[in-house]
Structure 1
Amino acid sequence: MINLHIVEGRLTKNPDYRVDEKNNQIFLNATIASARNYKNREGTYDSDFINISLKGREATNFSKLCMKGDLISITGRSQTDIILSENGQKQYYTKTHVMNWNLLSKAKTEREKLSPNTSPSSLFAGYDPNRDYTADIEQMNLPEEDRDIF
């Protein structure tokens, strides 16, 4: 039997990290919003909200690295739990137990949202995208030892 669940989406809120003192185990629960690949009748994309859970060291690492809005991908197995409510009704909860996960991109911070005009040129000191470098290239001289090659 195959029970494989692969999901890519964004975290809807910060992960719920908790330690069970009684059993000395670490648990983490989170929800991923994953957009469907087709439009509904209104012309918009619906999203599915997948509950995920992790245990142990993976839960600790996930809680340290992933926050609300981060794009992640997970591979896991789906499991449905049955809980009896106070009035005797069965309630079904389906979640994905994560086996592997990858942090694909971090969510934009508030500072990045406020200044979206950050250009790649800021990564290269002294580079001006509006300057014409043609004259500089034409005046370039090769070192003396390399002139004999050409």
Structure 2
Amino acid sequence: MINLHIVEGRLTKNPDYRVDEKNNQVFANTTIACTRNYKSRAGTYESDFITISLRGNEATNFSKLCMKGDLISIVGRTQTDVVQGSDGKKQYYTKTHVMNWSLLSKAKNEGEQTSLNAHPSAIFAGYDPNRDFTAAIEQMTLPEEDRDIF
């Protein structure tokens, strides 16, 4: 069976770092906002908010290096935990347990920070993820001075 979750997105909050003295474990939890690559019926790009969890040295390093707004990439496994409340009802929590992570870029200053729901088309004019470049590549020609080389 395969349970693999690969996510790239921005942190929505600083990691919640805690030490469990009873079990001598270190944990870090946070949430990643991952923008979908298609528009909703309303014509906007929506985001998914994915809860992630790290443990041990990875949690310590992650908490030291990453903060709200940073662009990260993670590889992990999805797990659903069941907790029975004091009223006897079951509550289900789904989160991704991180096996590997990479810090792709640090957040910009607060004044420069873009919205979490921003899509590349909002930043790069003329961006179209569905554009077919085949015709443009076939019509490309080398500049005159480079033709003698080939």
TM range, normalised to the smaller chain?
0.7 to 0.9
Aligned residue pair count: 113
Q: Scaled by the length of structure 1, what TM-score is found? A: 0.73
Equivalence for 2:108: 108
Distance 2:3 2:85 in 1: 27
Identity %: 78
List runs of 5+ in structure 1 lacking aligned partners.
Answer: 115-150
Partner secondary structure for residue 64 of structure 1: helix
Q: Does 1:7 align with 2:2?
A: no
Moved more, 101-110 or 64-73: 101-110
Distance 2:98 2:68 in 1: 18
Equivalence for 2:88: 88
1:14-73 superposed Cα distances (whole Å, 9 cap, x missing partner): 000000111111000010000111100111011100000000000000001000000000
Equivalence for 2:120: none
Distance 1:113 1:90 in 2: 43
TM-align CA RMSD = 1.3
Equivalence for 1:27: 27
Distance 1:37 1:100 in 2: 23
Equivalence for 1:138: none
List runs of 5+ in structure 2 lacking aligned partners.
Answer: 114-150
Equivalence for 1:75: 75
Equivalence for 2:57: 57
Q: Which has the larger Rg?
A: 1
1:111-141 superposed Cα distances (whole Å, 9 cap, x missing partner): x739xxxxxxxxxxxxxxxxxxxxxxxxxxx
Partner secondary structure for residue 41 of structure 1: coil
Distance 1:105 1:39 in 2: 25
